[in-house]
């Protein structure tokens, strides 16, 4: 979306398109059908039916079945909470503060650019655009949020990163991607594509959550089956089934534990670093100072809400994968009860990783030399 279409009504699909929209419609649909790289200026009346579809009462992108999570306001609000969680956890929008700020510092004669791959609700991209007003920020997504007007130095594009990003090679100072592995067909390939979007010296920032929960002893949390039992978690079970269904669809949902290894092996990247953060699920953990306790409480409340709503967002995926509706309702209800009653003290695991694009001539490839 780059033309300020902020008033998208998902019901506005009665086909009353204007003449100019008809012309545009032709180019949108032919581009979709041809399987070419897709970059569009979003128009709600024209594009609603082509780019989004209704499934089980939710709105889902119409470009691929690999990423089968909703792209509606309910889901965007869930992502907003997850965005806040990272803000509290990192203390800012990004890891590696000094390096990122040095790379993005204004420089005469150079336009600094930031790319967010899988921008979702757009909060990260918009936040970066406000923090670095001299930078251009591009958020790319299968179905970006269209209800928020970004600042003038930020725009959103409908695009599928699995189709390749050659149109962006060597264009960005920072490339960021968070919680997108479940829409990636091949994580190793994705890292290479993302690295190629960087200018030499630019930085890649990746964050992924694990689908494995830990118990209060930091051991793998036991899952609930059948009617469930003491110490067993329905949330852990729902995440396990989420992992299974997404893996079956061919996604890289398990990428988080491989981030460091894959980035380290990428010939275009150097100075690779990683950090793992444990986030309490619910406000149960105390810190060693009142400030730390407060921070853990805030993160815990946000994580609990994100997970409770995640199980609901997984409903279309579970149903389309043939799970009995009653079992899916059991996942939703039991996870919700377990989390709201704070029955178990669990942790979620977040993996952050970063790396720098090697300077020209050090990448072993002639095309960039
Ligand atoms: C769980 S959300 C995370 C959103 C955002 N990065 C954040 O952290 O709040 C994953 C996002 O990645 C997008 N996505 C998944 N697969 C994609 C693909 N192949 N190309 C572009 N975007 C994709 C989805 O549409 C969704 O908005």
Distance CA 323, CA 319 (A): 5
Residue nearest atom 13 in ligand 1 by C-alpha distance:
118
Does the pLDDT value for residue 31 go beyond 60? no
Question: How many domains does the chain contain in total?
Answer: 1
Q: What is the pLDDT, as a whole number, of residue 236?
A: 98
| Ligand 1: centre distance to CA 48 (Å) | 18
Distance CA 157, CA 93 (A): 21
Question: Are the C-beta atoms of residues 43 and 13 closer than 8 Å to each other?
Answer: no
Give the residue among 63, 93, 353, 41 at the shortest CA–CA distance from 203. Answer: 353
Residue nearest atom 15 in ligand 1 by C-alpha distance:
183
Instruction: Please spell the DSSP secondary structure of 253-307, one letter per residue.
Output: TTGGGGHHHHHHH-TTEEEEEEEEEEEEESTT---SSHHHHHHHHHHHHHHHHHH
Q: Is residue 15 part of a domain?
A: no
Give the residue among 51, 42, 47, 48 at the shortest CA–CA distance from 3. Answer: 42
Instruction: Please spell the DSSP secondary structure of 96-143, one letter per residue.
Output: SHHHHHHHHS-BTTB--EEEEET-TTSHHHHHHHHH-TTSEEEEEESS
pLDDT digits (tens, 9 = 90+) for 129-143: 999 999 999 999 999
Q: What is the pLDDT, as a whole number, of residue 366?
A: 38
pLDDT digits (tens, 9 = 90+) for 298-335: 999 999 999 999 999 999 999 999 999 999 999 999 99
Q: What is the pLDDT, as a whole number, of residue 250?
A: 96
Distance CA 250, CA 80 (A): 27
Q: Is residue 7 part of a domain?
A: no
What share of the chain has pLDDT > 70, as a percent? 84
pLDDT digits (tens, 9 = 90+) for 155-202: 999 999 999 999 999 999 999 999 999 999 999 999 999 999 999 999
Q: What value does the mean pLDDT take over residues 117-133?
A: 98
| Ligand 1: centre distance to CA 255 (Å) | 14
pLDDT digits (tens, 9 = 90+) for 326-367: 999 999 999 999 999 999 999 999 999 999 999 876 665 433
Q: Is the CB of 160 under 6 A from ligand 1?
A: yes
Distance CA 250, CA 40 (A): 26
Residue 243: how many other CB atoms lie within 10 Å: 17
What average pLDDT does the chain have?
88
Q: Is residue 48 part of a domain?
A: no
Residue nearest atom 20 in ligand 1 by C-alpha distance:
160
Distance CA 72, CA 211 (A): 22
Q: What is the pLDDT, as a whole number, of residue 146?
A: 87
Q: Is residue 251 part of a domain?
A: yes
Positive or negative torsion for Cα 209, 212, 215, 219: negative
What share of the chain has pLDDT > 90, as a percent? 82
At residue 127 the predicted structure's pLDDT band, cuts being 50, 70 and 90, is very high
What is the β-pairing status of strands 154-158 and 136-141?
parallel
Q: Is the CB of 118 under 6 A from ligand 1?
A: yes
Which two structure tokens, joined as six digits, stand for 48?
């609603």
At residue 43 the predicted structure's pLDDT band, cuts being 50, 70 and 90, is low
Q: Where are the beta strands (DSSP E) in the chain?
A: 52-55, 58-61, 113-117, 136-141, 154-158, 172-178, 198-209, 269-281, 346-357
| Ligand 1: centre distance to CA 120 (Å) | 5
**Displacement of CA 101 from its chain's centroid (Å):** 22
Residue nearest atom 16 in ligand 1 by C-alpha distance:
183
Atom of ligand 1 nearest to the CA of 162: 19
Atom of ligand 1 nearest to the CA of 161: 20
Residue from 120, 124, 140, 317 to probe ligand 1 pocket by mutation (most atoms less than 8 Å from CB): 120
Give the residue among 124, 21, 110, 38 at the shortest CA–CA distance from 82. Answer: 124
Q: Is residue 153 part of a domain?
A: yes
Question: Are the C-beta atoms of residues 117 and 176 closer than 8 Å to each other?
Answer: yes
Q: Is the CB of 143 under 6 A from ligand 1?
A: yes
At residue 20 the predicted structure's pLDDT band, cuts being 50, 70 and 90, is very low
Q: What is the pLDDT, as a whole number, of residue 21?
A: 33
Give the residue among 223, 222, 226 at the shortest CA–CA distance from 241. Answer: 223
Does the pLDDT value for residue 22 go beyond 80? no
| Ligand 1: centre distance to CA 111 (Å) | 26
Structural domain of residue 197, as residue ranges?
73-368
At residue 46 the predicted structure's pLDDT band, cuts being 50, 70 and 90, is low
Tell me the longest C-alpha to C-alpha distance in the chain: 65
Q: What is the pLDDT, as a whole number, of residue 41?
A: 55
Q: Is residue 52 part of a domain?
A: no
Identify the DSSP state of 209. Answer: E
Q: What is the pLDDT, as a whole number, of residue 69?
A: 97
Does the pLDDT value for residue 70 go beyond 90? yes
Q: What is the pLDDT, as a whole number, of residue 361?
A: 63
Q: Is residue 6 part of a domain?
A: no
Q: Is the CB of 79 under 6 A from ligand 1?
A: yes
Atom of ligand 1 nearest to the CA of 61: 25
The CATH code of the domain that includes 130 is 3.40.50.150
Q: Is the CB of 176 under 6 A from ligand 1?
A: no
Q: Is the CB of 178 under 6 A from ligand 1?
A: yes
- Report in angstroms the alpha-carbon separations of 192 from 179, 189, 334, 345: 17, 5, 40, 38
| Ligand 1: centre distance to CA 58 (Å) | 16
Q: Is the CB of 296 under 6 A from ligand 1?
A: no
Higher pLDDT, 81 or 11: 81
**Displacement of CA 241 from its chain's centroid (Å):** 19
Atom of ligand 1 nearest to the CA of 144: 27
What is the β-pairing status of strands 346-357 and 136-141?
unpaired
Atom of ligand 1 nearest to the CA of 83: 9
Residue nearest atom 4 in ligand 1 by C-alpha distance:
120
At residue 37 the predicted structure's pLDDT band, cuts being 50, 70 and 90, is very low
pLDDT digits (tens, 9 = 90+) for 224-258: 999 999 999 999 999 999 999 999 999 999 999 99
What is the β-pairing status of strands 154-158 and 172-178?
unpaired
Residue nearest atom 9 in ligand 1 by C-alpha distance:
79
């Amino acid at each position: 979306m780059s033309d300020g279409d902020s008033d998208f009504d998902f019901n506005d699909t009665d086909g009353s398109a204007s003449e100019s929209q008809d012309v545009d419609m032709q180019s949108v649909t032919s581009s979709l059908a041809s399987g070419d790289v897709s970059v569009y200026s979003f128009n709600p009346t024209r594009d609603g039916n082509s780019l989004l579809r209704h499934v089980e009462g939710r709105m889902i992108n119409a470009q691929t079945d690999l990423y089968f999570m909703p792209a509606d306001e309910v889901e965007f609000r869930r992502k907003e909470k997850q965005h806040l969680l990272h803000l509290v956890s990192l203390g800012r929008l990004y890891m590696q503060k000094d390096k990122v700020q040095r790379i993005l510092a204004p420089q005469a004669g150079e336009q600094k650019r930031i790319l967010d791959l899988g921008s979702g609700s757009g909060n990260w991209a918009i936040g970066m655009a406000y923090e670095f007003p001299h930078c251009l920020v591009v958020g790319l997504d299968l179905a970006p949020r269209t209800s928020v007007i970004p600042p003038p130095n930020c725009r959103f594009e409908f695009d599928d990163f699995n189709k390749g990003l050659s149109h962006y090679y060597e264009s960005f100072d920072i490339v960021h991607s968070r919680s997108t592995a479940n829409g990636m067909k091949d994580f190793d390939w994705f890292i290479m594509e993302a690295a190629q979007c960087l200018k030499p010296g630019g930085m890649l920032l990746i964050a992924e959550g694990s689908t494995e929960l830990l118990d209060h002893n930091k051991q793998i949390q036991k899952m609930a089956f059948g009617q469930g039992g003491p110490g067993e978690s329905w949330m852990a079970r729902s995440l396990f089934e989420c992992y299974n269904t997404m893996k079956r669809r061919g996604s890289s949902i398990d990428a988080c534990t491989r981030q460091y290894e894959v980035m380290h092996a990428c010939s275009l990247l150097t100075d690779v670093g990683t950090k793992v953060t444990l986030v309490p699920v619910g406000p149960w953990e105390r810190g060693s100072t009142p400030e730390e306790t407060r921070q853990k409480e805030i993160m815990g409340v946000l994580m609990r809400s994100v997970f409770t709503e995640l199980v609901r967002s997984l409903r279309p995926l579970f149903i389309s994968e043939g799970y009995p509706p009653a079992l899916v309702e059991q996942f939703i209800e039991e996870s919700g009860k377990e989390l709201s009653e704070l029955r178990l003290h669990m942790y979620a695991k977040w993996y952050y990783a970063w790396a720098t694009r090697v300077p020209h001539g050090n990448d072993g490839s002639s095309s960039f030399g």
